[in-house]
């Protein structure tokens, strides 16, 4: 019972939410039909709580064949615990166009959720029948909805060929006689009475003698019915270009080439051919289309161009503004010119603003805020002029003059902006010492004096012809690095040769290694570590003599040590002293008695004998 209560509550809340949603009521029908075509007009209301549907007051131009029929759709979804529902009811009429012309079907009305709703009116263009087809061809082709791409269009061609009346492309221009720089629109439009699938390749002309700009559009062509030369076609715009003639005389827009692929229905198909065609009674037909040449007569602009003519052709206006009329020296002012209108706006040269000589002027900043239309570029060209006042005073900046050729009046027009009076007060610093950090400066003019001071500190003067090149300092810059390099090379090479002689290096480092070991032994002596001390002293003695004789310790004995040392010029007395040091070290580590005294004696004897041999042995 409790669960049932919660379920009913949820349903009531959901229904109340859906009931509060605002319903819509819309009508839809084809934009274009042909006389004799049957088509649907539908009225859709987005709720199921309705009453009192009332049809339009009249269907002028059309016969009502059936309707209204009513159909209902509804759906409910639960996503992540959230309910959503939709419901709609559609009222449909089947109409047939009975005469040519443009007709408007008035709005219908309905009461939905207690509110009266009014649909939109529907505008329909009715085309005449195709003169090349029989009376029933068109209507039979479009008996369902009238919105299919090939609906309402009949084909008179037969076999596997496509005639130039079944498929062609036009190149239409809005003007054939223009002035230089006057914009006009070129449109490539497709007319087809067959099943055009695609274009394998398209080659457009290079528009020699014109500046061209393409109007952006969706490359998916939208086809609509159009009556052309007594026949109904599916027509769609392929591409559009705005062209600006760049020279006077007769200019030619060369033909464009389109390689089309068409699906052609064949009435009788050989079964063998149909098998290799996938069982279809359609064959693919290729056709190359060429647009006609278009001649454009371009008139030169009339004589008598005003001074400072901008090159503008169209319809324009100009305004100006200034950021401040009162500034201090070394402050910047900005004058903004805005040229508005339609024409070759991007090609217009910048009007000139005459600043006083005491102002430092910089390159203008230009921002084109335009969009492309069939009559040319429309929008604003914003030009900002920056200048810096260097000296105090009152200055007058005359207005900018802008001249263009007006297409409507076919005459030149000259416009002028307002003059500005600028008051400049003295600011910080000396104007003659100020150096601007702008990088887009046109030029630096001398202001106030014949020579502008760049540096006021002490100046070192040099004799004419006294240059750094060829001086002693100049040559030292080459000689010193070369000498350092040679010395470094010699020392490095000598060291490399010595290091290559392993025996010599080992002999040379023997004393250093022995001294290190004896230092370690000295620390062990201080710490009274007997065993470790004697081991380190023995390593020092045996290691030293092995390095000096360039022999591994494993091959050394007291007998061959004596023999080797005699050959190296060591006296027998010193050899005996070295051997006694070895014996004393080996004996003392195991002998009883005063350990500290014995360790001191061994350390002194080892250090002394190594020093004597180092001084007497021949390398």
User: Using one digit for the tens of pLDDT, what is the confidence trace for 280-314?
Assistant: 677 888 999 999 999 999 999 999 999 889 999 99
Q: What is the mean pLDDT of residues 116-128?
A: 92
For residue 149, the model assigns a pLDDT of: 37
Please state which of the four CATH numbers 1.10.260.40, 2.60.40.10, 1.10.3720.10, 2.30.22.10 is assigned to the domain occupying 23-136: 2.60.40.10
Does pLDDT of 451 surpass 50?
Answer: no
**The domain defined by 167-298 carries CATH number 2.40.10:** no
**Cα separation values, 164 from 289, 291, 367, Å:** 8, 11, 48
Given pLDDT bands bounded at 50, 70 and 90, which one contains residue 42?
Answer: very high
Rounded to 5 degrees, what are φ and ψ at 149? -65, -35
Average pLDDT, the chain: 80
- Residues with Cβ within 8 Å of 164's Cβ and at least 6 positions away in sequence, in order, are none
Closest C-alpha to 538, from 592, 589, 614: 589
pLDDT of 560 higher than 50: yes
- What interhelical angle do 502-526 and 472-500 show, nearest 10? 80
Q: Are 224 and 125 in contact (CB under 8 A)?
A: no
pLDDT at residue 615 in the model: 77
Q: What is the pLDDT of residue 445?
A: 45
Q: Confidence class of residue 11 from pLDDT cuts 50, 70 and 90?
A: low
Is the pLDDT at 591 greater than 90? The verdict is no
* 499 against 162, higher pLDDT: 162
**Residue ranges of the domains in the chain?**
23-136, 167-298, 312-433, 502-616
Give the span between the Cα atoms of 351 and 44, in whole angstroms.
58
Mean pLDDT over residues 600-616, rounded?
79
Q: What is the pLDDT of residue 45?
A: 92
Comparing 612 with 221, the larger pLDDT belongs to 221
Above 90 in pLDDT, residue 417?
A: yes
The pLDDT of residue 429 is above 90: no
Helix, strand or coil, per DSSP, at residue 444: coil
Q: What percent of the chain stands above pLDDT 90?
A: 40
Tens digits of per-residue pLDDT, 194-248? 989 899 999 999 999 999 999 988 778 889 999 998 899 999 999 999 999 999 9
Q: Verify cis geometry, omega within 30 degrees of 0, for the bond prior to 299.
A: no
pLDDT of residue 147: 33
Give 134's pLDDT tier (boundaries 50, 70, 90).
very low
Residue 501 in this model has a pLDDT that exceeds 80: no
Average pLDDT over residues 601-617: 79
Q: Which two tokens stand for residue 389?
A: 């006042």
* Model confidence at 82: pLDDT above 70: yes
Q: What is the pLDDT of residue 435?
A: 43
More confident residue, 536 or 410: 410
Asked if pLDDT for residue 339 goes beyond 90, the answer is yes
pLDDT at 268: 54
Question: What's the CATH number of domain 312-433, 3.40.50.10860, 2.60.40.1930, 2.60.40.740, 3.40.718.10?
Answer: 2.60.40.740
In this predicted structure, the answer to whether residue 148 has a pLDDT above a threshold of 90 is no
CATH topology of domain 502-616: 1.20.120
H runs (alpha helix) in 400-471: none
State the virtual CA torsion across 55, 58, 62, 63 in degrees, nearest 10.
Answer: 70
Mean pLDDT in residue range 459-487: 77
12-16, 28-32, 74-78, 466-470: which has the highest mean pLDDT? Answer: 28-32
Both structure tokens of 600: 């001191």
Q: How far is it, in rounded angstroms, from Cα 219 to Cα 239?
A: 8
pLDDT digits (tens, 9 = 90+) for 358-393: 889 999 999 999 999 989 999 999 999 999 988 999
- Joined tokens for residue 275: 């098998």
In 3D, which of 291, 157, 138 has the Cα closest to residue 227? Answer: 138
pLDDT of residue 333: 92
H or E element, residue 41? strand 38-45
- Hey, which of 259-263, 279-283, 458-462, 600-604 has the most confident mean pLDDT? 259-263
Rounded to whole angstroms, the Cα distance separating 73 from 65 reads 24
pLDDT at 446 over 80: no
User: What is residue 145's predicted lDDT score, i.e. its pLDDT?
Assistant: 33
242, exposed or middle or buried, with CB in 10 Å at 0-12, 13-18, 19+?
Answer: buried
Q: Is the pLDDT of residue 41 over 80?
A: yes
Q: Are 315 and 342 in contact (CB under 8 A)?
A: yes
CA distances from 3 to 7, 9, 267 (A): 6, 10, 67
Reference 339, options 325, 313, 319; nearest CA is 319
Task: HSE, CB side, 13 Å, CA atoms: give it for residue 432.
Answer: 11
Domains 23-136 and 502-616 alike in fold: no
Q: 340 with 383: CB under 8 angstroms?
A: no
Most confident listed range (78-87, 111-120, 143-152, 562-571): 111-120
pLDDT confidence of residue 80: 74
- In the predicted model, is pLDDT for residue 448 greater than 50? no
């Amino acid at each position: 019972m409790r669960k049932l209560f919660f379920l009913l509550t949820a349903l009531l809340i959901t229904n109340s939410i859906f009931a509060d949603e605002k319903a819509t009521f819309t009508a839809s029908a084809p934009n274009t039909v042909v006389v004799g075509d049957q088509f649907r007009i539908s009225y859709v209301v987005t709720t199921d709580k309705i009453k009192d549907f009332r049809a339009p007051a009249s269907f002028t131009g059309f016969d009502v064949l059936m309707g209204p029929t009513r159909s209902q759709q509804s759906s409910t979804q639960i996503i992540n615990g959230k309910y959503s529902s939709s419901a709609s009811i559609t009222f449909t009429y089947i109409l047939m166009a009975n005469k040519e012309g443009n007709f408007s079907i008035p709005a219908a009305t309905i009461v939905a959720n207690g509110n009266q709703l009014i649909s939109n009116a529907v505008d329909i263009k009715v085309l005449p029948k195709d003169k090349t087809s029989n009376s029933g061809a068109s209507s039979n082709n479009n008996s369902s909805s009238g919105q299919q791409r090939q609906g309402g269009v009949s084909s008179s061609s037969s076999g596997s060929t496509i005639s130039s009346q079944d498929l062609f492309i036009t190149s239409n221009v809005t003007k054939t006689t223009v002035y230089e720089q006057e914009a006009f629109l070129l449109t490539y439009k497709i007319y087809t009475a067959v099943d055009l699938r695609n274009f394998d390749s398209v080659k457009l002309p290079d528009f020699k003698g014109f500046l061209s700009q393409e109007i952006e559009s969706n490359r998916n062509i939208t086809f609509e019915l159009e009556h052309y030369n007594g026949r109904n076609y599916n027509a769609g715009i392929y591409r559009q270009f705005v062209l600006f003639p760049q020279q006077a005389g007769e200019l030619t827009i060369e033909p464009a080439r389109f390689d089309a692929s068409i699906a052609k229905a064949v009435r009788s198909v050989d079964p063998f051919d149909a098998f290799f065609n996938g069982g279809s009674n359609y064959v693919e037909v290729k056709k190359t289309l060429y647009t006609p040449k278009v001649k454009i007569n371009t008139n030169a602009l009339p004589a008598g161009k005003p001074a400072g003519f901008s090159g503008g052709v169209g319809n324009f206006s100009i305004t100006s503004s200034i950021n401040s009329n009162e500034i201090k020296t070394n402050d910047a002012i900005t004058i903004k010119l805005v040229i508005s209108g339609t024409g070759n706006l991007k090609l217009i040269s910048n009007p000139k603003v005459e600043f006083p000589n005491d102002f430092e002027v910089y390159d203008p900043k230009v921002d084109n805020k335009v969009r492309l239309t069939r009559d040319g570029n429309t929008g604003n060209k914003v030009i900002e002029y920056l200048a810096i006042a260097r000296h105090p005073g009152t200055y007058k900046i005359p207005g900018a003059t802008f001249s263009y050729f007006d297409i409507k009046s076919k005459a030149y027009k000259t416009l002028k902006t307002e003059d500005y009076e600028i008051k400049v007060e003295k600011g910080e610093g000396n104007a003659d010492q100020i150096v601007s950090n702008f990088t887009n400066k046109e030029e630096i003019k001398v202001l106030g004096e014949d020579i502008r001071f760049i540096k006021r500190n002490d100046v070192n003067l040099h004799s004419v012809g006294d240059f750094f090149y060829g001086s002693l300092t100049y040559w030292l810059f080459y000689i010193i690095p070369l000498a350092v390099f040679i010395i470094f090379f010699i020392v490095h090479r000598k060291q490399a040769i010595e290091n290559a002689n392993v025996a010599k290096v080992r002999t040379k480092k023997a004393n250093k290694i022995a001294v290190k070991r004896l230092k370690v032994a000295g620390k062990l002596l201080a710490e009274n570590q007997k065993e470790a001390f004697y081991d380190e002293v023995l390593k020092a003695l045996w290691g030293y003599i092995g390095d000096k004789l360039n022999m591994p310790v494993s091959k050394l004995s007291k007998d061959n040590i004596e023999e080797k040392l005699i050959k190296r010029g060591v006296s027998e007395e010193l050899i005996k002293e070295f051997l006694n040091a070895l014996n004393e070290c080996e004996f003392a580590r195991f002998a009883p008695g005063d350990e500290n005294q014995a360790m001191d004696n061994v350390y002194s004897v080892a250090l002394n004998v190594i020093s004597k041999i180092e001084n007497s042995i021949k390398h």
